[in-house]
Amino acid sequence: MYEVGKDELEAIEAVLSSKKYFRYQGKDVETVTSLCEKEWQAYQKAPYCLLTTSGTNALVVGMAAFGIGPGDEVIIPSYTFVATASAVMQVGAIPVIANIDDSMTIDPKEVISKINERTKAVVAVHMDGLICDLEGLAKICCDHNLLLVEDAAQACGGTYKGVPVGSYGAFGGLSFNVDKIISCGEGGLLVIAHENFEKQYKKAFVTHDTACQYGLTKREDLDEVSGFFGLSTRLNEINSSILRAQLKKLPDILIKLRERKLLLINEFKKNQIPMRLGHDSDGDIGTNIHVKCSDPLHTLELTKKLIQNGYRAMAPQLRPAHACWQWMNSMNKDQYYVDGLNPYSLTDKSYSYEKAHFIRTVQILGETLRIEINYDGGDDQYREWMQNLVALIQE
Ligand SMILES: Cc1ncc(COP(=O)(O)O)c(C=O)c1O
């Protein structure tokens, strides 16, 4: 979260003093939450947007609404936050992990090699604001009759060929937790960008709020999909009010971050510093730059040096819950609180995840250093930050 202040405080105060915190206030009554969803519909150019309490829950709700469940396999990338895998397992399906490529995002060729008769969906994760090859992935999904899902938790505001991320696939999930470009503390958004998925949107609504199918406010609208027990993951009016204020700020934040990243890319190019870029540099949200290092030791030494000099640098291989080998050990028949709910017990196929299969990911992450683009300070300060960074990398 980059910008927070008076607007958010006033928004919170208005809700607090109204004493109306619940997203429903009567049939057809516009609330802060329903208004916020309409603003997201406009931003995402999507007919259906549903706020949830987290990005993880947005993905879970989307998966349930689109019929992903026990027996299904969902292909996800080897470099993603654990929530991508856990969302798949929450609906009873099995995550199948595909290596990333030089773009740090899922490798379409690997995806093809993982497809079989159980595959139901592919999740494109726009990691660190880097945009996936959505066209390549969409073609594969179309050829094999699979759902393309976007986990855009780390790329809110990003675009692919002009289309907002989250709105390209069958559905997408965004996160507004405190680490994200805009935040309301905790929150998520399910985006469904195609008119013909109205029924899935209604199912998502019921899944995100089981009780709403019985209440007067929503009963009539949801009648045709009623009869499913889901979650209680409604966003409240206080969080929604913060998010409305944050969404207004998003375009300016993006302009600044993108300008700054472009300056840095040009500076790196001038100095022949290799980088890893996603599949749409204009659509990248500009939060991070990824330096390509010669080997893992070089990455670690450079990370240490940059941190000592006040840079927010991180070797992705060391992020605690992002490289697949940090979370895939929990994906098996034994590791579940309730045996009968374990997706690995709900299928007749056995699965194992060997680190050896992910050597390419080990190599790519090992040779990558992620640096957060400096947002604070004026242009002169940024130029100094940038030039010092180049000097430190070249030392
Ligand atoms: C790639 C990715 N997917 C999903 C999530 C889950 O979002 P939340 O923390 O809002 O549940 C995150 C959160 O950081 C994420 O980075």
State both tokens at 70. 């026990």
Alpha-carbon distance of 371 to 309, in angstroms, equals: 12
Q: Which atom of ligand 1 is nearest to the CA of 177?
A: 10
| Atom 12 (ligand 1) nearest CA | 153
Residues 168-179 have pLDDT tens digits of: 999 999 999 999
What sign for the dihedral angle of Cα 14, 20, 23, 27? negative
The average confidence (pLDDT) of the chain is 97
Mean pLDDT, to the nearest integer, of 132-153? Answer: 98
- Tell me how long the chain is: 395
C-alpha 82 – ligand 1 centre gap (Å): 8
Q: Is 291 helix (H, G, I), strand (E, B) or coil?
A: strand
| Atom 7 (ligand 1) nearest CA | 55
Pick from 175, 183, 231 the residue to mutate for probing ligand 1's pocket: most ligand atoms within 8 Å of its CB.
Answer: 175
pLDDT reading at 129 higher than 80: yes
Confirm if 77 and 103 have CB atoms less than 8 A apart.
no
Alpha-carbon distance of 65 to 61, in angstroms, equals: 6
- Cα separation values, 326 from 81, 84, 97, 353, Å: 10, 13, 13, 11
Confirm if 79 and 319 have CB atoms less than 8 A apart.
no
Pick from 80, 123, 176, 177 the residue to mutate for probing ligand 1's pocket: most ligand atoms within 8 Å of its CB.
Answer: 177
Domains and CATH numbers, the chain: 6-246 (3.40.640.10)
Q: Which atom of ligand 1 is nearest to the CA of 180?
A: 14
pTM above 0.95, yes or no: yes
Alpha-carbon distance of 46 to 48, in angstroms, equals: 6
Q: Which atom of ligand 1 is nearest to the CA of 83?
A: 4
Q: Which atom of ligand 1 is nearest to the CA of 58?
A: 11
Mean pLDDT, to the nearest integer, of 131-156? Answer: 98
User: Which position has the higher pLDDT, 261 or 332?
Assistant: 261
Ligand 1 site residues, Cβ closer than 6 angstroms:
54-56, 80-81, 83-84, 125, 151, 153-154, 175, 177, 179, 188
Mean pLDDT, to the nearest integer, of 312-335? Answer: 91
Q: Which atom of ligand 1 is nearest to the CA of 80?
A: 1
Confirm if 304 and 310 have CB atoms less than 8 A apart.
no
Residues 237-288 have pLDDT tens digits of: 999 999 999 999 999 999 999 999 999 999 999 999 999 999 999 999 999 9
Q: Are strands 147-151 and 119-125 parallel, antiparallel or unpaired?
A: parallel
What H or E segment, with its residue span, contains residue 208? helix 198-208
C-alpha 59 – ligand 1 centre gap (Å): 9
198-208 helix and 55-65 helix, angle to the nearest 10 degrees: 130
- Cα separation values, 183 from 204, 242, 341, Å: 22, 8, 32
Q: Can you give the pLDDT at residue 334? A: 86
Q: Which atom of ligand 1 is nearest to the CA of 56?
A: 11
State both tokens at 129. 């604001």
Residues 335-383 have pLDDT tens digits of: 789 989 999 999 999 998 999 999 999 999 999 999 999 999 999 999 9
Mean pLDDT, to the nearest integer, of 150-168? Answer: 98
Number of alpha carbons in the 13 Å side-chain half-sphere of residue 318: 13
Mean pLDDT, to the nearest integer, of 62-73? Answer: 98
pLDDT reading at 210 higher than 90: yes
C-alpha 125 – ligand 1 centre gap (Å): 10
Radius of gyration for the chain, computed over Cα atoms and rounded to the nearest angstrom? 21
- Cα separation values, 273 from 49, 293, 389, Å: 40, 9, 11
pLDDT reading at 145 higher than 80: yes
Instruction: Kindly state the percentage of the chain with pLDDT values over 70.
Output: 100
Q: Can you give the pLDDT at residue 201? A: 98
C-alpha 249 – ligand 1 centre gap (Å): 21
Q: Which atom of ligand 1 is nearest to the CA of 154?
A: 16
Pick from 81, 88, 90, 324 the residue to mutate for probing ligand 1's pocket: most ligand atoms within 8 Å of its CB.
Answer: 81
Alpha-carbon distance of 369 to 289, in angstroms, equals: 8
C-alpha 390 – ligand 1 centre gap (Å): 31
Mean pLDDT, to the nearest integer, of 186-206? Answer: 97
Confirm if 1 and 181 have CB atoms less than 8 A apart.
yes
Q: Are strands 119-125 and 73-77 parallel, antiparallel or unpaired?
A: parallel
Q: Can you give the pLDDT at residue 333? A: 85
State both tokens at 320. 């605690």
